[in-house]
Amino acid sequence: MNDTSNNAELKASPFGGGLEGAADSLQASFPGQIHETPGGGIVLSKLDDVINWARSNSLWPLTFATSCCGIEMMAVASAKYDFSRFGFEVARASPRQADVIIIAGTIVNKMAPVLKRLYDQMADPKYVIAMGACAISGGPFFYNTYSVVKGADHVIPVDVYVAGCPPRPEALLHALMSLQEKIKSGLTREQIQEPKPSAAGDQLHQI
């Protein structure tokens, strides 16, 4: 390596390029900086970044669909679009084993408590995608309806919204990858929320 590339190495950002060749592709996916040493190299990184990188590449969605968006979600899971290519390996039928809930469809007043309970049952860290017009705002049921929740974010916090009625499979793939970017940069709802006081702390406070 010559002097120029050594300078670039020092300027490399956690997520960006700055290095060329084989090191560049590693740099784009794995957070950190590579320091070349004789006989190999050393990667310097932050543990938080590595954890976020690992989490973002293995997100299991919950099998949860309430209307026609669910059909598009199934299409994204199937061979033609195949979200397991991006780490959405396998849809789980239990919230205990799922990392991300894709709200695919209309949430009616009677479904809202069920959605809240499913979200509460998911293990941390958990992420939420609102898929389609109904999940974003109630969509075609925004006006003059007696039964529809006007946006799933009235019930649970949402990380990524994807527009469409229903969205194309490519749009959902883009939303899933946007969620990965968001996790890697540490900006999901869960990552930026205020730390909750622990139960033990509460008890001490009461005493």
Partner 1 sequence: MTNEAIQATITELLPSATFDEGGEWLVVNVAPEEWKQLALHLRNDPTLSMDYLYCVTCVDWKTHLSMVYHLSSTIFRHTIVVKSKLDAAEPVIDTVSDIWQTANFNEREAYEMFGVQFRNHPDLRLLILPDGWEGKRPMLKDFEDPVNMIRL
The strands making up 61-62's β-sheet, listed across from edge to edge, are 61-62, 100-104, 127-131, 160-162
The window from 11-19, 121-129, 137-145, 199-207 that contacts partner 1 (CB under 8 A) reads: 137-145
150 versus 189: smaller Cβ distance to partner 1? 150
96 versus 110: smaller Cβ distance to partner 1? 110
Residue 142 found at the interface with partner 1 (CB under 8 A): yes
Helix (H, G, I), strand (E, B) or coil at 130: strand
117 burial level (CB within 10 Å; 0-12, 13-18, 19+): exposed
- Contact by Cβ (8 Å): 102, 61: yes
Number of Cβ atoms within 10 Å of the Cβ of 197 = 10
The nearest distance, CB 147 to partner 1, in angstroms, is 7
97 versus 109: smaller Cβ distance to partner 1? 109
CA dihedral 112, 113, 118, 120 (to 10 degrees): 120
Residue 145 found at the interface with partner 1 (CB under 8 A): yes
Report the residue from 80, 93, 124, 146 that binds partner 1 according to the rule CB under 8 A: 146
Residue 116 found at the interface with partner 1 (CB under 8 A): no
Residue 150 found at the interface with partner 1 (CB under 8 A): yes
58 versus 147: smaller Cβ distance to partner 1? 147
